[in-house]
Structures are given as C-alpha cells and as structure tokens.
Amino acid sequence: MSSEAQPQLIDDLESLVKSFKFDRISPFIHVLPGLFFTGLVLTALLMVMEALSFNISFFTSSMVSSFLLATMLSSSVSTYILLDKVISHLYASGVTTYYFLKRGSFNASLYYLRNRLLKARIPSPATGLILSMVSAGLSYPIVLSLVEKTVRDHMIEEEEALLGKKITPYFFTERIIVELALVFLTLGAYLIYQSFRVVKTYNTHIENIHSTHPNPPPKIEYDATVYEPARPLMFFIGILLISTSLHAVVGYFGLPSIFLMNWGVGLAWGFTNQRLREAGTSRMLLINAVLIYLMIIFSMIIGIAGYRTYYLIFEGNLQEISTYRELSVTHLAGSIFLNNMGIALASITPYMGTIPMSIGVNNAGLLIGVLTPERLSRGDYTPLLIFIYPHAILELVSYSFFVTFAFTWRRAKSWILIVTGLLLLAIAALVEALTIKIA
C-alpha cells in the first residue's frame, strides 16, 4: 500500500468509528415474555384441573389463549430486537476495537476480529423471529441464553484487550441447561429475571467499554474479583429444597405444577452430573443414589401437601394398583420389573437420561404422598416406612446405575453398569412382589 493511501485509510476508518452509536437497551419489551409465559403456565394448569373435573370454563380457556398469543408475539419481537442489536454491536464494536488497537499490534487486532466472527453462535434476527413464532415462544429462554453467552464472550475479549484484565464472569455452555431448569422450576417466572439480566449485562458492557466513545476506555488499575460458579452438588440440593417448597404450596392451592418441576429437576440433575463427569464412577453412583432418595422424599412431601389436587390425577392409577394383588407372584414381579425397566432404560440416554428418571422417581414419590394422609388416618404407617423396605432400597439404588451410565458411557466397561442395574431391578421386583403377596 502506498504511503499516500495509508493516511486516507486511517481517516476513513476514523470517520467510520466515530459514526457508530453505542446505545443502551430498554428492558421493558424484553421482560414482557416472562410475564406472559408465567400467566400462560398458571392458567394452563388451572385448565388441566378443570378438565379433570369435566368443567372447563370459558374464562379459563380464554385466558390461556390470550396468554399464549401474548407470549408468542412478545417473545418474537424481543428475540428480533435482541439478535439485531447484538449482531450489529459485534460488527461495530469489532471495527472500533481494531481501530483502537491498530497502533499497538496489527496482528493482535486481526486475531481478535477473526475470533469474534468464529465465536458468535446466535441465529440471525429473521431466524430467531421465525423460531419464536413456530415454537409459540418456547424457544425464548434458549435464545436469551445464547445471546448472553455471546455477549459475555465478547465482553471478556474486549475487557482483556482494552481494559487490561477480565471483569466479567464466563457463561459456561452447561449453564444453558440450568437456565432452562430454572424456567421450569419457577413456572416461567425466572424468564422475567433472565431477560432483565441479559439486558443489564449488555448495558454494563456499554458503560464499561463504550461510554467514552469515540475514545478508548481507560485501563483498569484496581484488582477485579470475578465470580465463579458454586459447587454443582450443593447447587442441586438447594434447587430441590426451594422448588419443593414452591410446588408444595402451589399444589396445596390446587395447581398440579410438579409435572413442570420434574423437567426442571431433571435438567438441573443432568447439569450436576455433567459437572461431576471427571469424578470416579463409584463416587457418581453414590451421589446419584443419594439424590434419588432426596428427590423421592421431597416429591412425597409435595404429594402430601397437595393430595387433594393430585388425587384427581392418580385416581385411575390407584384403582389399577389395587388389582395387582390378584396376580400370581411371577406375573406381579414381571409387571413390576417391566414398568421399572421402562423408566430405567429411558434414563441411559447420554446426557439427557436424568429427565425421564426425574419424571419416574418424582411421580412415584408424589403417588406415595397422595396415599399418605388417608393411610395415616387409618393408622397405617406404611408410606412413611416404604423407603427402608428392601425392595425400595434395591430399586432406588439400581436407578443410580442407569443415570450414571448416561454420563460415563464413554468409559471402558461402562456396560457393566446397565447389567448390574437390571439385575438389581429384577431382584427388587421379585422382593416387592413377595412383600405384596405376604402383606
């Protein structure tokens, strides 16, 4: 390039950089989908209970339709605006950072721009809009997570390049699972906070990096402490305690919310196993066995608190269970084994097996909880002692083998986990059949 062209290129680049505007985002439009989605979930649960009693009101069905439409439209608008804003910002900010760094290191600037293009993992605004419309807004929490991860990755790179040190925590890919889990566990209310946090994160970046535009930001001289995620096991136990309290209250007031909780618990449980995947197989087996026990006990508490609500749902199952006593020991053991095996084999799905296992274990605990008040009123304390019965111990422990396999399937001889689990499950079915016939 000639010496005359070089100053002209610099002047053109400077003019381009000065033309960029780095504005903050208003959170209003982006928190609306969370508000509408929470309303949709609550009214949909109410409609389920009305359907079970064959008394669906026009008011409830109208509210469900209104919230569904509002969720779809508001999430579509929010998705388009967010993706358009972030993609435009990545370009403008990338050019600006190149301009700020070019005098120091030309190669470093090119390396930064290349990484920025490669690491952007968000759909186009049009794609996001269509996805939100087609999914009726269900894709919104995933889009928010992808946007936040992209923004945080961008923030960290610019902080290291322009401020001299990182002040923003990483957004690990596994955290997307946690975000989805919290949406399920809070009946959609977490979406309100999640969308507000994404906007706040973006606005913080504008304040830290671009508030002095078109001049570069000053270097940071103080020590910055970056928050890192807490221990996953304690996180999951905390999730169980909080969600049990919430859904016990919701169930008491007549809404069968545990079926959404099951998905949230399954996702959070999967995240925990994913973070513990480097641990030994024996340790993972022990942890999963303890967590299964905790889940079934906590879901039993929800069943006790909302037994009037869930009895309507399980009434047919309770009548069917009463007929099992008429079967022979062999047929009864076979029926129990096949039922439990269906849950167990579904849970060996790599990385996602905790979801069907969470549904199976929590529904079992819920059913026991529904039976508990009536049994206790008759002086029957069996529901409180069932967890220490030999067949219950064998069955619950066997489940931990299948869940552990879902996260250790790449290890040598991991198939032994499935064989051992099936053997324990068969023994548990036989012991349970004998216990029922003797009782």
What is the mean pLDDT of the segment spanning 418-426?
95
Residues 299 and 247: beta-carbon distance below 8 Å = no
Tokens of 22: 């780095």
Q: Which of 53-67, 359-373, 384-398, 406-420 has the lowest mean pLDDT?
A: 53-67
Residue carrying structure tokens 């359907």: 51
The span from the CA of 45 to the CA of 248, in Å, is: 15
Tokens of 370: 């529904």
Residues 260 and 184: beta-carbon distance below 8 Å = yes
What is the mean pLDDT of the segment spanning 357-371?
92
> End-to-end CA distance of the chain, in Å?
93
Q: What is the pTM of this model?
A: 0.84
- Whole-number pLDDT of residue 234: 87
The tens digit of pLDDT for each residue in 5-52 reads: 445 445 566 777 788 888 899 999 999 999 999 999 999 999 988 887
- Whole-number pLDDT of residue 235: 86
The span from the CA of 206 to the CA of 357, in Å, is: 44
Closest CA to 365 of 298, 435, 310: 298
pLDDT band per the 50, 70, 90 thresholds, residue 293: very high
Residue burial 210-220, b: 16+ Cβ < 10 Å; e: rest: beebeebbeee
- Whole-number pLDDT of residue 116: 59
Q: How many CA atoms within 13 Å lie on the side-chain side of 62?
A: 3
CA angle 192, 137, 64 (to 5 degrees): 85
Residues 305 and 252: beta-carbon distance below 8 Å = yes
Which range, 6-10, 55-59, 156-160, 334-338, is most confident? 334-338
- Whole-number pLDDT of residue 415: 92
The 8-class DSSP code of residue 323 comes to: G
The tens digit of pLDDT for each residue in 202-234 reads: 999 999 888 888 888 887 765 555 455 557 788
pLDDT band per the 50, 70, 90 thresholds, residue 104: very low
Q: Give the helix, strand, coil percentages of the chain, each rounded to 5.
A: 75, 0, 25
Closest CA to 361 of 376, 347, 381, 371: 347
Cα-based distances in Å from 271 to 152, 232, 241, 276: 20, 8, 17, 9
Closest CA to 293 of 205, 357, 349: 357
The span from the CA of 148 to the CA of 40, in Å, is: 25
Tokens of 132: 């939100």
- Whole-number pLDDT of residue 229: 53
Q: Which of 42-46, 116-120, 338-342 has the lowest mean pLDDT?
A: 116-120
The tens digit of pLDDT for each residue in 235-258 reads: 899 999 999 999 999 999 989 999
Give the per-residue SS3 of 25-36: CCCHHHHHHHHH
- Whole-number pLDDT of residue 315: 76
Q: Is the peptide bond before 214 cis (omega within 30 degrees of 0)?
A: yes
Residue burial 130-164, b: 16+ Cβ < 10 Å; e: rest: bbbeeebbebbbebbbbbbbbbbbbbbbbbebbbe
Residue carrying structure tokens 């009101």: 57
Residues 279 and 293: beta-carbon distance below 8 Å = no
* Statement: residue 192 has pLDDT above 90: yes
pLDDT band per the 50, 70, 90 thresholds, residue 423: very high
Residues 128 and 83: beta-carbon distance below 8 Å = yes
* Statement: residue 187 has pLDDT above 50: yes
Q: Does residue 312 or residue 246 have the better pLDDT?
A: 246
The span from the CA of 17 to the CA of 286, in Å, is: 57
Residues 309 and 52: beta-carbon distance below 8 Å = no
Question: What value does the mean pLDDT of the chain take?
Answer: 86
